[in-house]
Structure 1
Amino acid sequence: MKPLPHPIRTECPPGACVCDRDALLAEPGADLRVMRLTREEEKRLLQRLENLSSLDDLRHLQVRMQEQLGIRLSLGPGPHEVRSLRGIVILVHEQRGLCRKTRQNIPAAIKKSMEQRPEIAYDLLNEDGLFGGL
């Protein structure tokens, strides 16, 4: 493995994660963008996600996460009736090198933001036409 031009995420304790970090680093030509998400950068990202101002802000971060880290995020109403934030599905797609805890923390941060600013959730549901212009 050749050294990378930027700091990378440190290893998780053995048995604590299934991110397959070492295999990703050993694979020639692998997409290593996700390894740029150090613990400090993850804290900054989560703080940013907890303080979203609008759906446009969320969509902007969604695009930036894909571009810079290769993290794919899907958001939308769940398969059942949406009565609360629990009905909104926020999925961080599995990806080699992405820590399991990070995959859990990103949706939690977004939901926290939606709790503080319910209009984000309303706009998300309107985007899919669920409110029908209400």
Structure 2
Amino acid sequence: MSSTPPLRQPCPPGACDCGREQLHAQSPQAQRILLLTRQEEKRLLERLENLKSLEDLQRLQTKLYEQLGIRVQVAPGYNEVRTMRGFVIELQDQPGLCRKTRQAIPAAIRRGLERNPQVAYRLLDAHDLLGGGGDSPV
């Protein structure tokens, strides 16, 4: 007996621009975004808010892509990074990804960076913005 996993309930008509209707014509690989139910979304956001390390963030980014097809890119902004708002957090456009989820994921990552600033420092250092790439002239 095979049971199908629960799928996300559709948004009310006119309330979202997720393009869920387009998914029915696409491959099952593209439809995996519908596996992100509201309950699973809450668990995901909680994990993103409780980041422990840069590796944890990278692992979550990999899992999001592998399991749901969501590409999340986190990088320092083009100008200065004085607060967590200085990070650019982008989600690749994808049919079926709810508007609220597209807003909630970056917000949860920012909250995670605020709670654990060491992750933000490691992210900056990974992009060589703290000058950790060479010897100091002193």
State the partner residue of 1:29. 27
In structure 1, distance between residues paired with 2:96 and 2:26: 14
The number of aligned residues is: 130
- AA in 2 matched with 1:27: A
| Pairing of 1:48-127 with structure 2 (within 5 A) | 48-127=47-126
Report deviation, 1:93.
Answer: 1.3
User: 4+ residue runs of structure 1 moved beyond 3 angstroms?
Assistant: none
- Percent identical pairs in the alignment equals 54
User: What is the deviation of 1:100?
Assistant: 0.8
Of structures 1 and 2, the larger Rg is shown by 2
What is the match of residue 47 of structure 1? 46
The one-letter code sitting in structure 1 at the alignment partner of 2:84 is: L
Q: C-alpha distance in 2, partners of 1:22/1:7?
A: 18
- Give the Cα separation in 2 of the matches to 1:64 and 1:19: 21
Give the structure-2-normalised TM-score. Answer: 0.89
Q: Note the aligned Cα RMSD (angstroms).
A: 1.4
Q: Name the TM-score, length of structure 1 as normaliser.
A: 0.92
**Where does residue 131 of structure 1 map in the other structure?**
130
- Alpha-carbon distance between aligned partners in 2 of 1:71 and 1:130, rounded to the nearest angstrom: 27
Stretches of structure 1 lacking an aligned partner (at least 5 in a row) = none
Matched residue SS, 1:91: strand
Gaps of 5+ in 2: none
Q: Distance in 2 between matches of 1:59 and 1:65?
A: 10
Give per-residue Cα distances to partners, 1:3-35, cap 9 Å, x unaligned. x822111011111110011221x2042511111
Describe the superposition over 1:61-116 as per-residue Cα deviations: whole angstroms up to 9, x where unpaired: 00000000000001101111111111111111110000011010001001101111
Give the AA of the match of 2:42.
Answer: K
Write the letter of the residue equivalent to 1:100.
R
